[in-house]
Amino acid sequence: MTDPRPAPILVADSPGLDFLNSVATPVDTEVDWIGSGEDLIAWLLQAGLVTPEAIADMRKAAAPGEFDAVAAQARKLREWFRGFVKAHKGRPLKPKVLQELQPLNRILMRDEGFGQVVSREPGRRKPGGAGEDDAPVSGLVWRPQRRWRSPDALLFPIAKAMAELVCDEDFGQVKACEGHRCTLMFVDRTRGRARRWCSMAVCGNRAKQAAHRERVSRARK
């Protein structure tokens, strides 16, 4: 059966915020892209946070209903993190908020991440200054990896994306879309930090149309 829902909305410029946006109201009705275990898998694949190979391995050992149970945990994590982001967006985070992030750290402690030395992709070079392209470059590179022992490991890349948001981003640039009824959030990377909408093609266009109707209405009075 074809999924009647639109594709997941990935406009936040941050995987951690994209996960918060996995429940939204793109038109008139709220859509939750993580309503089930299969939904969670589909969203993670779409967002590039898990590989098809990892999913295939987990399916071999998963018990009936296990992915659905993890999806329920993911939704709970999502709404907890939404409360944190809403409470602190618009200003840089201070060390005193660390206590509020203990639920996130408890998940991260369970992650079985590791790394391996692998072949560098052809054409890839180390970042560096002028002349780096002419310098000898190792054909090897360090690549982070993860053991996917059970379906609850699907929470780990989500938690990592949230950790990267709070550690690497300026929360002063985290914004909520100004669109009517829109719940989407994003990191504003525009020059002058002038972004107001999740998307100019959606909420931005709606705002322009509403402003135009208002001007026409005033002109007729």
127 falls in which pLDDT band (50, 70, 90)?
A: very low
What span, in angstroms and rounded, lies between the C-alpha atoms of 9 and 24? 8
Q: Which pLDDT belongs to residue 29? A: 86
pLDDT: which is higher, 203 or 185: 185
Mean pLDDT calculated for residue range 115-134: 65
pLDDT digits (tens, 9 = 90+) for 27-54: 778 999 999 999 999 999 999 999 999 9
Mean pLDDT calculated for residue range 8-17: 95
Cβ atoms of 210 and 52 within 8 Å: the answer is no
Question: Which residues in 130-144 are b (16+ Cβ under 10 Å) and which e?
Answer: eeeeeeeeeeeeeee
Q: Which pLDDT belongs to residue 131? A: 46
What span, in angstroms and rounded, lies between the C-alpha atoms of 32 and 75? 9
Query: What mean pLDDT, rounded, does the chain reach?
Result: 88
pLDDT: which is higher, 134 or 7: 7
Phi-psi region of 90 (alpha: psi -120 to 50; beta: other; left: phi over 0): left
What span, in angstroms and rounded, lies between the C-alpha atoms of 43 and 50? 9
Whole-model pTM?
A: 0.84
Q: Which pLDDT belongs to residue 200? A: 72
Q: Which pLDDT belongs to residue 4? A: 82
Q: In the Cβ-directed half-sphere of 219, how many Cα atoms lie within 13 Å?
A: 6
pLDDT: which is higher, 54 or 135: 54
